[in-house]
């Protein structure tokens, strides 16, 4: 090689180094130095604790590898959607936050809360406790909440800075896009807490049952959505400061519809104001002195067990609120009850005893605050609120959670 050639090669190498360095410096400049971490929570309704093991879930697998996967996330009783989303948001048992089920009555006023009436769902007067977005907003941390139960209600005078009421028609990707849009604004307007809700696994699980190939397809499709969400988060220039949590509210069990209990055969109208019935649990609001009559006709019925609200197991943390009714009728696991109800029965059901693992959901997390490749034991959804407060560095309101049970998922210095 002559001298000219050597000089040329050296020049090319030098040029390469300069260009690479420039790119590195400009990436560093674009990456903002974040004084506070961002927390993004995705709820996959009805995603059972073991769904990852029965379907192809490369994206959840990848979170597990990079971050944390818990053996299960135990819901509170009753293992229903509204009760549990609001527990996740507040860290409170249902007797302390008041959203005891998807549908319930306030006996003193005879007001009915029902998930099918958007104006009730958005009425802050039903909601006790303090959801995480209220804790955040009241401490000057902005939040963006998409379709989470309670996000469109004014609670303690606050709503999220940005919220979207539940709309079954809104495509799932569009929900994720909305969150990304919220996160893409200038720093001083940007939320540090973002929450998003997707119901596909619940919807399909009810219709076809948890063991159906249709549910496996639904698991795989929501896993792809998790991948899409991660990819969009990774495109934000502060992606290194984002903690991402994927969790669910409860599991699902294949319904045993061979022997259905029709409460209508036993309940006399003169005993009750209302019976709010769902396949796994019914709440009977009795007229004065009629609870015993109702109990006496239900006590020997196969497939269910009925008791006074006060006699529910203490671990259910339900007895302190009259919203649970006077008599609570529980289906035995996988059994189904109806109340003069001719609608088609679901193939998958939840709402049973929360200690039954089939009612457990998932907890995955990744990001700068979480351990890498950590298999956490069973976690409890009452503890998520306190975890979110820790991640957001805000002071928690009073809650029923135990942060010590969650600390194992965090890096030591968090
Ligand atoms: P369930 O399976 O009966 O516990 O209720 C879950 C279903 O409620 C979901 O599949 C959604 O269709 C619906 N849902 C979830 N969030 C809301 C909401 N905020 N308002 C009304 N309906 C909702
Ligand atoms: Zn649910
Ligand atoms: Zn459901």
- With the most atoms of ligand 1 within 8 angstroms of its CB, the residue from 88, 127, 199, 349 to mutate is 199
Measured in angstroms, how far is the CA atom of residue 7 from the centroid of ligand 3? 71
Q: Is the CB of 200 under 6 A from ligand 1?
A: no
* Token pair for 348: 């998958």
Task: Locate the ligand 1 atom nearest the alpha carbon of residue 115 and give its number.
Answer: 21
Residue nearest atom 1 in ligand 1 by C-alpha distance:
81
Measured in angstroms, how far is the CA atom of residue 393 from the centroid of ligand 3? 33
Q: Is the CB of 202 under 6 A from ligand 1?
A: yes
CATH of segment(s) 256-349: 3.30.1360.180
Q: What tens digit of pLDDT does each residue of 168-221 get? A: 999 999 999 999 999 999 999 999 999 999 999 999 999 999 999 999 999 999
Question: Model's pTM, two decimal places?
Answer: 0.92
Q: What tens digit of pLDDT does each residue of 160-169 get? A: 999 999 999 9
Each residue of 114-148: b (16+ CB within 10 Å) or e? ebeeeebbbeeebbbbbbbbbbbbeeebbbbbbbb
- Does 31 have pLDDT greater than 50? no
pLDDT at residue 27, rounded to an integer: 37
Range in 77-86, 134-143, 333-342 the model is least confident about: 333-342
Contact status, residue 263 vs residue 337, Cβ threshold 8 Å: yes
pLDDT at residue 414, rounded to an integer: 66
Catalytic pick among 39, 81, 90, 201: 81
Q: What tens digit of pLDDT does each residue of 338-383 get? A: 998 767 789 999 999 999 999 999 999 999 999 999 999 999 999 9
Q: Is the CB of 366 under 6 A from ligand 1?
A: no
39 flagged as catalytic: no
Measured in angstroms, how far is the CA atom of residue 248 from the centroid of ligand 2? 8
Task: Locate the ligand 1 atom nearest the alpha carbon of residue 278 and give its number.
Answer: 3
Task: Locate the ligand 1 atom nearest the alpha carbon of residue 203 and give its number.
Answer: 10
Q: Is the CB of 43 under 6 A from ligand 1?
A: no
- Does 136 have pLDDT greater than 50? yes
Task: Answer whether 36-92+129-254+355-409 and 256-349 agree in fold.
Answer: no
pLDDT at residue 259, rounded to an integer: 83
Q: What tens digit of pLDDT does each residue of 98-119 get? A: 999 999 999 999 999 999 999 9
- With the most atoms of ligand 1 within 8 angstroms of its CB, the residue from 115, 147, 160 to mutate is 115
- Does 7 have pLDDT greater than 80? no
Q: Which of 414, 43, 60 is nearest to 250 (CA)?
A: 43
Q: Is the CB of 31 under 6 A from ligand 1?
A: no
- Does 299 have pLDDT greater than 60? yes
Measured in angstroms, how far is the CA atom of residue 116 from the centroid of ligand 3? 13
**DSSP code, position 324:** G
- Does 20 have pLDDT greater than 50? no
pLDDT at residue 22, rounded to an integer: 43
Q: How far apart are CA 348 and CA 253, in angstroms?
A: 5
pLDDT at residue 2, rounded to an integer: 56
The domain ranges of the chain are 36-92+129-254+355-409, 256-349
Task: Locate the ligand 1 atom nearest the alpha carbon of residue 351 and give its number.
Answer: 4
**With pLDDT > 70 as the criterion, what percentage of the chain qualifies?**
91
Q: Is the CB of 203 under 6 A from ligand 1?
A: yes
Range in 24-28, 250-254, 335-339 the model is least confident about: 24-28
- With the most atoms of ligand 1 within 8 angstroms of its CB, the residue from 126, 202, 250, 255 to mutate is 202
- Does 23 have pLDDT greater than 90? no
SS3 call for 332 = coil
CATH of segment(s) 36-92+129-254+355-409: 3.40.720.10
412 falls in which pLDDT band (50, 70, 90)?
Answer: confident
pLDDT at residue 35, rounded to an integer: 84
19 falls in which pLDDT band (50, 70, 90)?
Answer: very low
Measured in angstroms, how far is the CA atom of residue 209 from the centroid of ligand 3? 11
Q: Is the CB of 121 under 6 A from ligand 1?
A: yes
Residues in the chain: 414
């Amino acid at each position: 090689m002559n001298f000219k050639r050597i000089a040329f090669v050296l020049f090319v190498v030098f040029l390469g180094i300069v260009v690479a360095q420039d790119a590195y410096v400009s990436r560093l400049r674009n990456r903002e130095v974040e004084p506070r971490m961002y927390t993004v929570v995705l709820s996959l309704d009805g995603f059972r604790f073991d769904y990852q093991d029965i379907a192809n879930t490369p994206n959840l697998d990848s979170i597990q590898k990079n971050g944390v996967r818990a053996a299960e996330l135990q819901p509170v009783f009753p293992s229903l959607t509204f009760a549990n989303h609001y527990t996740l948001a507040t860290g409170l048992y249902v007797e302390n936050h008041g959203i005891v089920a998807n549908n319930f009555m306030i006996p003193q006023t005879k007001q009915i809360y029902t998930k099918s009436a958007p104006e009730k769902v958005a009425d802050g007067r039903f909601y006790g406790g303090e959801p995480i977005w209220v804790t955040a907003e009241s401490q000057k941390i902005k939040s963006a909440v998409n379709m989470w139960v309670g996000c469109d209600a004014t609670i303690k005078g606050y709503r999220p800075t940005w919220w979207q009421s539940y709309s079954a028609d809104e495509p799932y990707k569009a929900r994720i896009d909305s969150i990304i849009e919220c996160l893409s604004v200038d720093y001083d307007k940007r939320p540090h807490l973002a929450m998003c809700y997707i119901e596909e696994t619940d919807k399909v699980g009810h219709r076809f049952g948890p063991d159906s190939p249709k549910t496996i397809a639904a698991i795989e499709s929501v896993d792809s959505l998790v991948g899409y969400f991660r990819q969009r988060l990774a495109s934000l220039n502060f992606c290194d400061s984002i903690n991402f949590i994927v969790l669910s509210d409860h599991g699902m069990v294949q319904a045993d519809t061979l022997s259905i209990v029709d409460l209508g055969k036993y309940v006399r109208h003169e005993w009750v104001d209302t019976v709010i019935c769902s396949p796994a649990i019914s709440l009977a609001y009795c007229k004065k002195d009629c609870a015993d009559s109702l109990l006496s006709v239900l006590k020997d019925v196969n497939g269910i067990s009925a008791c006074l609200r006060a006699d529910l197991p203490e671990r259910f943390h339900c007895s302190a609120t009259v919203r649970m009714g006077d008599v609570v009728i529980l289906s035995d696991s996988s059994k189904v009850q109806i109340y003069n109800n001719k609608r088609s029965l679901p193939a998958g059901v939840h709402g049973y005893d929360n200690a039954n693992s089939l009612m457990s959901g998932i907890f995955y997390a990744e990001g700068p605050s979480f351990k890498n490749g950590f298999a956490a034991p069973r976690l409890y959804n009452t503890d998520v609120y306190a975890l979110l407060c820790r991640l957001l560095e805000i002071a928690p309101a009073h809650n029923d959670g135990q942060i010590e049970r969650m600390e194992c998922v965090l890096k030591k210095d968090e």
